Structure 1
Amino acid sequence: MSFWTALPEPALEKLAADFPALIMSIGEKRFGIELLSLLHATCGAEHATVFNLTADNLFEVTAASLDGSDTAHRQVGVYLKEGLWRQDPTMTEAQHQLESDTSAFVRTDVGDLSDDALREIVYGETDIKDRLLICSRWGDDIVGLSVLRSSNVGPFTARDIEAVKSIAGTIFALLAKHISMTWNGPNVSVALTSLEEIEACIRECAALPRREAEVCSRIIYGMSSLGISLELNICDETAMTYRKRAYSRLNIATQRDLLLWYLELWSKWQDRATRQVPQLEKVLPDYKAA
């Protein structure tokens, strides 16, 4: 008896409804939550993350949490910080499998992780119990899907795993389409010619007091000291003081240093849906239930 025929009628109806919704969301920001909705109906997933692994870095494509919060996105940020993903045995095992196959499927009981940072900080703070990692090698990169369940829901069952495998090929085909439609390369000109963009990036990613952030944003934007003081309704001396404090806080000395700092910050902050990847023209691997 197949997974599909074994599903109760309500679950089948939910899947039938979720697939069209996921397809219709391709290329849109809601793609992540639609993907999670499908995975929740399939295996009870509470969080899902899609990532792209290059030769030397890992990037988030989309992340979603069932409760509508940004939990998955925030935890991805923790996972990426200081390269914690590089010491993840789940990722290492997936890469090892991909050396001899076009796809990889790894399950991890979070409680068994020996790395304290991964177990307690990346997963423990959100009470994650179980993780399924599905990866496919596309050209020189790896695209992966991480599916998570908390202790409240409990670990994935054998039937849950079979269910995910049964639809993984379809999901990765939709992922390929989503990526090829949305990752067109970062628009660096926006990073430097939009004051709104500069302020949003610094506000969300840098621990600077409001006034220091405002002054730095306008320096990056190209405004003169006089222009900054007039726009912020402060005197020149006050503007200079905010600049000096910010430079000291950031451990930089020149306007060029500030620009380089900002561009590095923006490159990490900017929507990963604009990052360019190769056209995914190859036939995707067929994931079969074990």
Structure 2
Amino acid sequence: MYLENVESLLGHRRSFPVQSPSALGLGSLIDALGTRDFENELARQLMDMFHSEYIHICHFPAGQVRMINSMSEDGSCRAQEQSAAYFRRQMWDFDPTIAIGKQWDEDAPILTALDIHRPETRELKEFYDELAIGERIVAYGKGVGGHLGLSVVRTRARGAFTGEERARIGLIGEIAFPLLARNYNLLNERHIFSLSLSSLELIENCLALSGHNIPRREAQVIARMLYGMTCEGASIDLSIAFETAVTYKKRFYRRFNLGGFRALLTWYLGTFAGTCHLLGSRQYH
């Protein structure tokens, strides 16, 4: 989906043609998925494809605007300076695409373009005039813990996009943005998985999301055992009798045909693997 200027933001929509995915180096991008190198690899390829100087990635947790990364073609701090100025002057208040992007609720991302000759607001025109920005394409869509924005920026010194470059814009929404969102999902799931036995709250939430309708007290006892407590320790922590905690443990073992703690641990890790994507939007310590 592609939106351009206020008229488009109010409902006039059109799609850009999408070139072959081979225009993006999918092999190297897929190899980098789930690593800290992915952002730089994606930025490098987008800069090459659009002859652009800057790539910005932002996040909208709880509706707020946060910058994740800003990258310059020449490796300088210019991109970070751009984003710092944008935040310092609170330009999101004058950028109508932000309001659209952070509330976008469709599965497919939305593409927005800055028309430098007809900017949406005077403040936005002044800001981009100062930076000599000639082209800006931003994809907005769903991400982990809030919406994401992926921005491709090009200065006036390099002129407007060529016809061939414009024909590639659809790739930002069709391929680049989904891969970016998937990268963050993978990073988040790996982080959550590393905490699988180190957070009592996470263990309890995993059991609650397992789909087995485990009784609350039973789940609380088992969660504390997985967390490292003995059955006696779990009874003290929950302020219940030791015999009651043992009963809950036995019921759980019978429910899932578990022969001991090792079997419990194997069951839990398998359950966790199937629910960690549901746990990803929360923060655990």
Q: Distance in 2 between matches of 1:63 and 1:120?
A: 21
State the Cα distance separating 1:58 from its structure 2 match: 1.1
Which residue of the partner structure matches residue 134 of structure 2?
129
Kindly indicate whether residue 167 of structure 2 is the aligned counterpart of residue 162 of structure 1: yes
Q: Is the 8 A contact 1:47 1:72 kept in 2?
A: yes
Q: Distance in 2 between matches of 1:278 and 1:104?
A: 26
Which residue of the partner structure matches residue 113 of structure 1?
119
1:68 is paired with a residue whose SS is coil
Equivalent residues in 2 for 1:222-261, closer than 5 Å: none
Percent identity (aligned): 23
Q: Deviations over 1:107-140 (max 9, x none)?
A: 112343254543333x334321111111113477
Q: Distance in 1 between matches of 2:60 and 2:47?
A: 24
Which residue of the partner structure matches residue 249 of structure 1?
none
TM-score, structure 2 normalization: 0.52
State the Cα distance separating 1:106 from its structure 2 match: 1.1
AA aligned to 1:153 is R
The one of 14, 19, 24 aligned to 2:26: 19
Which residue of the partner structure matches residue 192 of structure 1?
none
Are residues 93 and 4 of structure 1, via their aligned partners in 2, closer, same or farther at CA, if it must alter by over 3 Å? same
Which residue of the partner structure matches residue 42 of structure 1?
49
Which residue of the partner structure matches residue 180 of structure 2?
175
Are residues 124 and 167 of structure 1, via their aligned partners in 2, closer, same or farther at CA, if it must alter by over 3 Å? closer
Equivalent residues in 2 for 1:274-289, closer than 5 Å: 279=280
Q: Is the 8 A contact 1:36 1:46 kept in 2?
A: no
Which residue of the partner structure matches residue 76 of structure 2?
69
AA aligned to 1:3 is Q
Are residues 175 and 129 of structure 1, via their aligned partners in 2, closer, same or farther at CA, if it must alter by over 3 Å? same
Q: Distance in 2 between matches of 1:91 and 1:152?
A: 26
Report the count of equivalent residues.
Answer: 178
Q: Deviations over 1:34-84 (max 9, x none)?
A: 212211232222211111113331112222111111222221122222532
* CA radius of gyration, larger in: 2
- RMSD over aligned CA atoms reads 3.3
TM-score, structure 1 normalization: 0.51
Q: Is the 8 A contact 2:46 2:52 kept in 1?
A: yes
Q: Distance in 1 between matches of 2:18 and 2:170?
A: 12
Are residues 181 and 152 of structure 1, via their aligned partners in 2, closer, same or farther at CA, if it must alter by over 3 Å? same
> Which 4+ runs in 1 deviate beyond 6 A?
none
AA aligned to 1:106 is T
Are residues 136 and 37 of structure 1, via their aligned partners in 2, closer, same or farther at CA, if it must alter by over 3 Å? same
AA aligned to 1:89 is P
Q: Is the 8 A contact 2:50 2:165 kept in 1?
A: yes
Which residue of the partner structure matches residue 91 of structure 1?
98
